[in-house]
Amino acid sequence: MSLERKRQFIEIAYDILKKEGPEGVKIRRVASEMKCTSTVIYRYFDNLEHLIALASVRFFKNYIFEFKNMVNDPQILTDPYGLNLKMWDCLAGYAFQNIPIYENLFFGKYQHSLGEIIFEYYQLLPDDFKQEFDGYSVSILFNNDLFQRDFVLLRKAAALGAISTQDAEALSQIESYVFRGILLKYKDEYKNPGIPKKAAEEFHDLLYDLAKKYKKS
């Protein structure tokens, strides 16, 4: 199996995603552009959703760069509770610009394998990231769903006394639900001018209000 050909399938799917979103990516369409049969694509990907998920990872590129800088900031690492909020703000800034992509990644068929999808993409196209990840970064970035990624930081915050362990688990779930709720709320209008910013600000206000209520005084 040619890795270069697999990369080409991902490139084609990514180009379609940019223009039309997940709904535009079809096995026959990708096969036609690669001048092969649909059967060939299934040698490289488990199913259509697998191909779409891998191609969607490229939309993470700028977020991953910012994420790495945040995690490597020594001052931020002493405040995982604050880091959690900053990471959500960062993610929201990108997610609300491409809602169908992020909704599919975080809440689609591969939501519980997101870490594996990101890692697979990283192995196929390492030059897209051009950076090495330390163990702490990997434990967050390559975790297998949004809730668990969030809980990594809040559990650390609990160890430092900023929040109880029970509340850390609850807040992780609530933050994920709020994020999805805002995604769904603006899904049909996110391309309209000003909507991504409006959605990000609404999410920010809800997130920080929750954080104040759960944080120990």
Same domain, 44 and 63: no
Q: Are residues 107 and 166 in the same domain?
A: yes
Shared domain check, 69 and 26: no
Whether residues 64 and 44 fall in one domain: no
Residue 5: C-alpha distances to residues 1, 12, 34, 35, 182 (Å): 8, 11, 9, 12, 37
Asked whether residue 38 falls in the same domain as residue 80, the answer is: no
> Do 116 and 9 share a structural domain?
no
* Pair 145, 200: CB distance under 8 Å: no
Q: Domain range spanning residue 77?
A: 59-214
Structure-derived torsion over alpha carbons of residues 99, 91, 54, 101, reported in degrees to the nearest 10: 0
Whether 97 and 32 map to the same domain: the answer is no
CATH number of the domain where residue 14 is located = 1.10.10.60
- Both 76 and 168 in one domain: the answer is yes
Are residues 142 and 64 both part of a single domain? yes
Same domain, 77 and 160: yes
- pLDDT at site 131: 66
Alpha helices per DSSP H over the chain:
3-20, 27-34, 38-41, 48-56, 61-71, 74-77, 80-95, 99-107, 114-124, 135-141, 146-159, 165-185, 195-214
Q: Which residues contact 162 (CB under 8 A, 6 or more apart)?
A: 79, 80, 81, 215, 216
- Average pLDDT per 10 consecutive residues for the chain, totaling 217 residues: 90 94 94 93 95 93 82 77 92 95 92 88 82 70 80 91 94 95 96 96 97 90
Distance spanning both ends of the chain, measured CA to CA: 57
Q: What is the pLDDT of residue 44?
A: 95
pLDDT of the residue at 50 = 96
Angle formed by the axes of helices 99-107 and 165-185, nearest 10°:
140
Q: What is the DSSP letter of 132?
A: -
Q: Report DSSP letters for 88-123, one per residue.
A: HHHHHHHHTTSHHHHHHHHHSTTGGGHHHHHHHHHH
Q: Which position has the token pair 């552009």? A: 33
Into how many domains does the chain fold? 2
CB-based contact 53:104 (threshold 8 Å): yes
pLDDT for the residue 69: 81
Pair (76, 103) in one structural domain: yes
How many residues in total does the chain contain?
A: 217
Are residues 45 and 30 part of one domain? yes
User: What is the distance between the alpha carbons of residues 120 and 98, in angstroms, rounded to a whole number?
Assistant: 22
